[in-house]
Amino acid sequence: MSSDRSGKPSVPALVHDSEQEETEQMSRTRLTLAALATAALAGCAREAPVEPAPVVGAARADVRDAGGRLLANASAEQAGDRVRVRIEAAGLAPGSYGAHIHAVGRCDAPGFDSAGPHWNPTLRQHGTQNPQGAHLGDLPNLLVGANGQGSFEISLPASLAGGAAPLLDGDGATLVIHASADDYRTDPSGNSGARIGCGVFG
């Protein structure tokens, strides 16, 4: 392929570009026509049909202690190209707790070692304040107030299902809560202590 001085491919690429543009223009036109047809149909109906939001997946996890007592509810939802994770305390004493997505969907009490390490498909170290971090499964600490309430929501650049490294891969995933706060920098677990609660995403 020939190149101009800037190093960019010249003639063949231009031909290709214009062909591509034509194709894109045609599909844009088709989309516009389809949208107009839909709008026209909607206008005729007594009630305009509401286009349902695409269901792309959601998972939940009940985080329980070794005795089976509920500590928190967690959810993970695909929203565009991100996964939105929510956690809400439901039976934790006031305090700050490390919370992570762990790589294996299995919660064997009492130690929950079966949940494996943090979910880390990008092979980083632990912690958002670690220059080599962070794990994709690293989450903010769950802060529980005097009234027992606490929650957070975070959006991760990840896939719930499908793609190269989905959250719900063959061996699943868990939400683990630790005894202490995560310092956001110490590999591999932020000095967050024992695993006191675990819930399998499903």
Q: Is 195 marked active-site?
A: yes
Site size for Cu ion, by CB under 5 A?
A: 2
Q: Is 16 marked active-site?
A: no
DSSP characters for the chain? --B-TTS-B-HHHHHHHHHHHHHHHHHHHHHHHHHHHHHHHHHHSSSPPPPPPP---EEEEEEE-TTS-EEEEEEEEEETTEEEEEEEESS--SEEE-EEEESSS---TTT-GGG-SB--TT--BS-TTSTTB--TTB---EEE-TTS--EEEEEES--SSSSSS-SS-TT--EEEEESS---SSSTTTTT--SEEEEEE--
Q: Does 103 bind Cu ion (CB under 5 A)?
A: no
- Looking at beta carbons only, is 107 or 176 nearer to Cu ion? 176
* Marked catalytic residue, from 64, 65, 178, 182: 178
CB of 132 to Cu ion, least distance (A): 17
Q: Is 100 marked active-site?
A: yes
CB of 201 to Cu ion, least distance (A): 14
Q: Does 176 bind Cu ion (CB under 5 A)?
A: yes
Q: Is 138 marked active-site?
A: yes
- Contacting Cu ion (CB under 5 A), which of 90, 92, 100, 201? 100
Residue nearest to Cu ion (CB): 100
Q: Does 126 bind Cu ion (CB under 5 A)?
A: no
* Marked catalytic residue, from 62, 65, 182, 195: 195
- Looking at beta carbons only, is 64 or 100 nearer to Cu ion? 100
Closest CA to 177 of 165, 189, 163: 189
* Marked catalytic residue, from 138, 169, 183, 185: 138
Indicate if the alpha-carbon torsion angle 137, 155, 173, 148 is positive or negative: positive
Q: Does 135 bind Cu ion (CB under 5 A)?
A: no
Annotated catalytic sites, by residue? 100, 102, 118, 126, 135, 138, 178, 195
Contact residues: Cu ion, CB under 5 A: 100, 176
